[in-house]
Chain A
Amino acid sequence: HLQLQESGPGLVKPSETLSLTCSVSNGSINTWSYYWGWIRQPPGKGLEWIGTIYYSGSAHYNPSLKSRVTMSVDTSKNQFSLKLTSVTAADTAVYYCAREMYMDAFDIWGQGTMVTVSS
């Protein structure tokens, strides 16, 4: 069955750029049926959707984060990525990648990766 795995630095300095990659295994990212998303959860807080991207590269971001977020897809590597610029301590969170059934549900999730913003 399809699996997702997040990877990237666990520590990022304030004002720098957070970069994460989600690797898709046992299935193709190149499918018209699904979208690919990022969701985060700060410690002790609720879930926040960051954005969603289609295999074609078309992306849709959370309006509250839009100015700082860029998502991309690399179909040759079966991966999609997240960049979040100008990070602050408020961006400290567990970051999850997930497969989205368009506007219905996130049906497959990665285990999540903790990213701490600190100098």
Chain B
Amino acid sequence: QSVLTQPPSASGTPGQKVTISCSGSSSNIGGNFISWYQFLPGTAPKLLIYSSNQRPSGVPDRFSGSKSGTSASLAISGLQSEDDTHYYCAAWDASLNSWVFGGGTKLTVL
């Protein structure tokens, strides 16, 4: 059971916009930064969003992050076939004194 809650799956068609949610508590998302990662098989995981809403250089602006209270979202617009993979959220938890992750969302591009 992951501390952060993500939907196990999401889907969309090419060109559409998809949003993946991540729900937590005041000790993690509510009080700290959220980050988002893309996991592609056989490659190093990739940071998509840091500081809750900032994109590292090289990450397309199709990816955006937001946070409100104890929840956060990753939005992917202009969906492409290469976006078909797993996405995870993460945050520092001040109560657990530990990094915590979401259970992951498998995005399917139909």
Q: Show the binding face of A for B, using Cβ within 8 Å.
A: 4, 37, 39, 46-49, 52, 60, 62-64, 96, 98, 101, 103-112
Contact = CB atoms under 8 A, between A and B. Distances in A.
A62 B35 CA distance: 19
B50 A112 contact: no
Contact of B96 (A39, A52, A63, A112): A63
B57 to A, nearest CB: 10
A49 B33 contact: no
A43 to B, nearest CB: 13
15 contacts: A46-B2, A46-B102, A47-B88, A47-B101, A48-B101, A49-B98, A98-B45, A101-B50, A103-B32, A103-B92, A105-B33, A105-B51, A106-B35, A111-B43, A111-B44
Contact of A49 (B44, B46, B51, B101): B101
Nearest to B42: A111
Contact of B50 (A62, A105, A109): A105
A63 B98 contact: yes
Given A103-B92, A104-B33, A109 B45 contact: yes
Contacts, number: 64
A103 B99 CA distance: 8
A108 B44 CA distance: 8
Interface centre among B47, B56, B100 (most CB of A within 10 A): B47
B104 interface: yes
Contacts of B32: 103
A23 to B, nearest CB: 14
Contacts of A112: 44-45
Contacts of B45: 96, 98, 106, 109, 112
A104 B44 contact: no
Contacts of A106: 35, 37, 45, 47, 90
A13 B33 CA distance: 38
